[in-house]
Amino acid sequence: MKADERELRKFLVKAKKATYSAGDLAKSIKQKDGSTTMVFEDGDWRYHDNYFGGEPYGGREVVLFKNKPVWMMVYYGLVYSTVTAEDIQKIYKTLQDALSRVLEIVPFRGPAVHDAKNGMIYINHYECMRVDNFSGFEEIYTKDGKQLYKASYAGGYVAQR
């Protein structure tokens, strides 16, 4: 089932702001396999984010329209081993803050650049703005240029034929 791309983009922004990037406000379900699932619904749209947390982490997001899968994204990331345990929380807070600034034109992760108030910088490198087939990676650095975190992602439409 083909979903309207403009509506998909709008829905992705709402769903992403209501789930992981919402922090403690997001409803999550711990699964028997050790993963965590977050779900957001709005009318005919449903967003399902399932990930295995810890270091490193990985997961997938799926959007269903009228109970049929129409879009998905997979992601994998890690904090570098040189980072101290106390900085890991700051890094993930920076990531949540950046992801809460997701844009409708590129509704995959965060903006191209986000200068966090905690001395860290989030950078998102995406290959295209097409919602039907995209890939990219994101990084977090200290203000003096030390790389702390990196994640990659890819996705697009599914089940279209």
Secondary structure (H, E, C), the chain:
CCCCHHHHHHHHHHHHHHCHHHHHHCCCEECCCCCEEEEEEECCEEEEEEEECCCCEEEEEEEEECCEEEEEEEEEEEECCCCCHHHHHHHHHHHHHHHCCCECCECCCCCCEEECCCCEEEEEEECCCCCCEEEEEEEEEECCCCEEEEEEEEEEECCCC
Query: What was the pLDDT predicted at 120?
Result: 93
Q: Name the one residue in this structure whose structure tokens are 């984010």.
A: 49
- Amino acid identity, position 158: V
pLDDT of residue 2: 64
In this prediction, residue 81 carries a pLDDT of 83
pLDDT in 10s for each residue of the chain, 161 residues: 567 899 999 999 999 999 988 777 788 889 999 999 999 999 999 999 999 988 899 999 999 999 999 999 999 999 998 888 778 889 999 999 999 999 999 999 999 999 988 889 999 999 877 888 999 999 999 988 899 999 999 999 998 77
Give the model's pLDDT for residue 122: 96
The reported pLDDT for the residue numbered 118 is 87
Write out the two tokens for 26.
Answer: 């997001």
- Provide the residue range defining the domain that includes 79: 5-157
On whether the CB atoms of residues 18 and 116 are closer than 8 A, the answer is no
Instruction: Quote the pLDDT of residue 25.
Output: 75
Say how many domains are in the chain. 1
